[in-house]
Each structure stands twice: as structure tokens, then as C-alpha cells.
Structure 1
């Protein structure tokens, strides 16, 4: 069977799904991690990532010659769904596996692939993405970080914000201008660089959430030398590369399942408590119907990416609709729990969900900007 023959209910994918569930059940019993909301951002656990890698569940799409399994994006989709539904602590390897590995496979040099892909497949390499800036959040064409040619490489200067996990990461993949801005060609003149976090001139400062949690960072590059060997792809091709990369970031199950552990726990608690009034059943049914529809759309994007076709418009749509659902699901969960005696683990997840709720529609590009992208892609603007 070829990857193109697979669908969401295929027996091959079902077998993979069952093996991931077995791993998660055993690993949780042995190591005691607690399911969490938004674990793909907040659940940084390097030992878990390495155990996951040893079990063959990171680097699923990485070719076997680089230590991966050489499977399709649909296989990775199934693994991702199970990890998110379980609320597993996946943040450490998440960005490297989701975005950096596909970029290296498509645009990287053989040296870059041989150096980084085996570590990503092993769950032992952690990367951040340096895109957003002050004044250039969702509008990446306004990026001002620049790289200037020098002997043997480039000098990188500028500041990135909302850089998830940079304080733990080995590297940041930085989008920078390598040509002066041209108002008539706003998307031209960008390139990508693989920048080690321990390079001289790299300063990483925390951005602390209201809860006191530290997931985001401001990263400043002060004349940081980046060798030619650490240019990702072709100079000047950065916009095309980032657009392809964002399709992976925006379309995955994490755009609809960040609150899944909470929702599953709430439904179980209502079931165990014998709550089955019409309003409750209606609310749960609405959540489920909405989730099923979004999953169909998200999976169709995974199939498109698997076929090597452009999915940027539909990926933006998944991100918009999916994160709206995530935000709304927090309100519905709280409403369903009104008057109920809930276990401490559900209370903890609900508090976290309320705190993270404003971020759902912002990260990965604000929904308002993405709607403009979708409209242009449909020929409406």
C-alpha cells in the first residue's frame, strides 16, 4: 500500500494509532506525566521526547537513511492526534519535527540533513522559529532583521519576538532580509538561516505570561556570524520556503486539539456523574460535530501536503476555524462544569485553558490577517 492510498480510517493508520496509544499508556504509568492543555507549547520534557524518538514516533516522515521511518504526512498526522489527545509533554521536539525536518528534507544541503535529521528523529534536537518581529507579526513581509554578506558567511542583526522555546532550543531558524526592501516586490529578498543559540551575539530574553509561565522569548541578534553552510535553501528564496513551512504549522491537529485533554476529561466526568440533560447532550454534540468537520478539513490538508501540492490557503483556513473552535471550547467546557464537583486535574486544565485562550487565535498568524490571505487566494481581493 502506498501513502496515497491511505485515508483517515485506513487499517494501516489504525495499527499505528493503536501502537502510539499503547506507548502513551505505558509511558505515563512508568514516568507519571500528567495530561495537560496546550501541551505542544507548554509541555517541555526532553526525556519524554527522547523516549518517543526511541519508540519511532518522532521523525516519522524523515527518510530512513537519516534515522526516520520514511512514512507519509498522514502517518505523522495520526501520531500527532494521539499525542495531543493524550495531553503528552511534546513541546521539546515539536517545532523541529513539525517544521524544521520538512524544510531540511526539501531545501537543506546534504550536510545539514546528515547533521540534524538523525537528531530530530531521535527526539534530541530542539529548534525555535524566528519569524515575528515588533511591527511585523502576521505581516512577515515587514520583517526588518537583515543579513549582510561577509567573508565566508553573513552577519545577522535584528530582533524576533514570541519565539517559542528559544531559551531551551539548540537553534533558531531565522527569516531575514538579504536584499533591501522593495515596495513593489514586498515578498522578495528574504532568506533563512540556521542560527545556533550559543553563537556570540545571540541574546535570549523571556516573555512571561500572566500565569508566570515562560514559553515565549525575545531573541536579539547583534552582528551574529552565520556561515554559508548554515544558510537554509537558496538566498532570496526565503518567502517561498516560509510559506511552505507555515502550511505545516497552521494546518495540523494542534490547531483543533489544544484543548482536547480538557474536553475528554469533562465528558468523562459528566458521564460518571450521570449528567445527561438535554442542554448538556446538545452542547457535547455540537462540540463533537464541530470537531469532526474541522478534522476532515485538517486531514485533507495533510493529504495535499503528502502529495507535494500547495496547501497554504486551506492551511490558513484550518488555523482560523480551528483556533476559533479551541477558544470557544474553553467557554463551553466551563459552562458544562457549572454546578459540578470536578476533580483537581480538570480544574487545573480549565485554569490553564482560560489563560492560554487568548493565544490560540494569535500564534501562527492572527486570524484576521489569515482571512485576508484566504480571500486573496480565492480571488476575492
Structure 2
């Protein structure tokens, strides 16, 4: 049992857990020299860091011990996630597998799949992407046209998926595909999920290059890709229910409010160093920025508590994602407006400029990934009985 395991015996130890992960991050950064980055859960792929994080006991927190995890709750994972994002640690390699795939396996996977995949995820050495969006479907998942056709011993998948984060590095993708013909009166019926190994014959992975030259996203083409029956996730025809449940984990986490946290923190520190030179308008703007962040955190934590209690939090998760990613977008230009960089080569100023440049490139993506905010407002309205 690691020192971390000994600390986390119940929810009363959340503060000790926070101290423990902070100490790990400070020591690891000092030793290995990684830089704090904006949007690190998407862009900073560092397999060695993920392995060290897992070895220290900070991955697989909600995975039961019989599958190699720690058997803790969503609030424990929330604490660790929050600290990782606040410092902008390079967490992209394990992120989707730990955040989304593991809960999906626990809820819908069979015992063989859990035994095979969950220990690798908890070890921080298994990487996954998610195959939901398509070129012609956008945020309307009901318009997905990728098809899975039954064969004697499995399924053949044909179609395209886009915005598949990390697929060029990942071992697998969890793919949503249509397994029965479209029924116009029941658009959400007839979908299923498949665990597709990304080294399978018939798969082509092409990068989607950002204006900065970075390529975190990909388009995956599936041409008669064989998936054995053992890699069907959950029940055939239950894909819509499964994928919308998974989206609660994707949409509600701290990454929907803290993608720009390292930028905000660095800017506030520079402003604080100015002391008496800080005018009332600037001080008020900083206060407003932090007040919004604190309020959003309270909402996000409430979703983590609901998930801990086994409640359906899809509507609240959509609200977190809408408000949180809008805040993230606003924060980029608010920080830029607050700062008046002198023409200096001071390392803090140069580092902040680099993060601000990255944030501006990533800014349009904040309200697109995980479902556009416009679509999510429709989800929220339906959940409130307004449509």
C-alpha cells in the first residue's frame, strides 16, 4: 500500500489527499522540468508522467480495487483532477481512459473487459480516444452514420469520426456506430458502442492541424474494420443511453472550468506583484473573474456529489459545460486586457505571453468539444421541461 492509499480511507481525508497530490506535483515538476500549460488535459501528452502519476496512486481512483484501482469516490478524483489542472500538468495521455472509459466499463462492460482493461487504465499505461462526432453530424449525435454490420464472429465497422483527441497515440477508440437502420420517429434508437483497437487493419488516422501547427485532434476512417464480439461495449442497441451517460463525466469535470487556470493564476501573480500600481478597475475585474470561477466550481462539485450518490446528473453536467466553457473563453481576453506587458525579457512575462498565445488558439474549441453550447442549451431546456 502506498502512502497515498494509507491517507485515503474516507472522505474526511480529502484535504490530506489535496496536500499529497500538490507535494507530488511540486516534486515531479522540479525533477522532470515540465511546464505548466493551458489546456493541458488535451495538448500535453506525456506517457512517462502518466506512469509516474499512477505509480504514486493518483490514477484509477474510482476503479474498484479488484480491478487495480483504489475504490474511492468521485470527490476524491475531483480533488486530484482539480490540482492537476490548476498547475497545468501534462495529463493528456491517460485522461480520456481514466475520465470516461473506466466509468463506461464499470457501468456497461462485461467482466472479461473489466479484467482486461481496467488494471491497465489504473496503471496509467493504457490510452483511449472517443469516436463520437462525424463530419456530417456535428454535435447532433443522432445523425451519426458510421455503421457496424454483423458477421459470424463479430462486426465490420465503416465510416468516419472526427475530433478524436489523441487517437494518433492511443491504443483504442470507443466508437459509437449504428447497428440497425434509422427510424425517423426514433432517431436515438439503433446505436451501439464498440471498443476498437487502433492498430486494426482498415483504419486510417489523419491529423487535424490547428493554426499553431499543433495536431491534438484526428479524423479516423474505418474501412471494413473487424471488431470481435468480445469488444462490444454494453448491449447492442443501447448505445445512445450509454454514450449520454458517459457525457456526464466528460462535461461536468473541472476541465470545463480550469483549462485556462494556469494562465489566470500566472496573470494574478504578476498583477499582485505590482502592488500599489493596481488601479480599482483592474482589481475589480480580477475579483469578478475569480468570483465567476469560484461559483462555477461550486456547481461542478455538486455534479461530482450527484455522481458519487449514483444520481443522473446529465442536465447539471450540460449546465456546467455551457457556463464553464463560456467562462474559459471569456477569461482569455479578460487576462489580455488586464495585462500591460512591458517590453522586458523577464521569464514570468515571457511564460505568460506563451500561455496567452496558446489560449487564444485553443479558445474557439472550448465551447465546441463535448457538444456545442447551443446544443447543450437545448438539453438543459428539455431537462427543465421547457421544450
Gaps of 5+ in 2: 1-7
Q: Distance in 2 between matches of 1:58 and 1:371?
A: 32
- TM-score with structure 1 setting the length: 0.97
SS in 1 for 2:333: helix
- In the other structure, the counterpart of 1:118 is 119
- TM-score with structure 2 setting the length: 0.95
RMSD: 1.1
- In the other structure, the counterpart of 1:184 is 185
Q: Deviations over 1:333-358 (max 9, x none)?
A: 00111244562111110000011001
SS in 2 for 1:136: coil
- In the other structure, the counterpart of 2:315 is 313
Q: CA deviation at 1:309?
A: 1.0
- In the other structure, the counterpart of 1:330 is 332
Q: Distance in 1 between matches of 2:278 and 2:14?
A: 33
- In the other structure, the counterpart of 1:19 is 20
Superposition pairs of residues 1-381 of structure 1, within 5 angstroms: 6=11, 11-274=12-275, 275-340=277-342, 343-381=349-387
Count of aligned residue pairs for this structure pair:
374
Q: Distance in 2 between matches of 1:376 and 1:66?
A: 37
Q: Distance in 2 between matches of 1:225 and 1:193?
A: 11
Contact 2:341 2:349 (8 Å CA) reproduced: no
Q: Distance in 1 between matches of 2:21 and 2:83?
A: 7
SS in 1 for 2:160: strand
Q: Distance in 1 between matches of 2:329 and 2:115?
A: 40
Q: Distance in 2 between matches of 1:175 and 1:190?
A: 7
Q: Distance in 2 between matches of 1:37 and 1:62?
A: 28
Q: Distance in 2 between matches of 1:232 and 1:247?
A: 18
Contact 2:202 2:223 (8 Å CA) reproduced: yes
Q: Deviations over 1:58-105 (max 9, x none)?
A: 111000111110000110000000000010000000000000000001
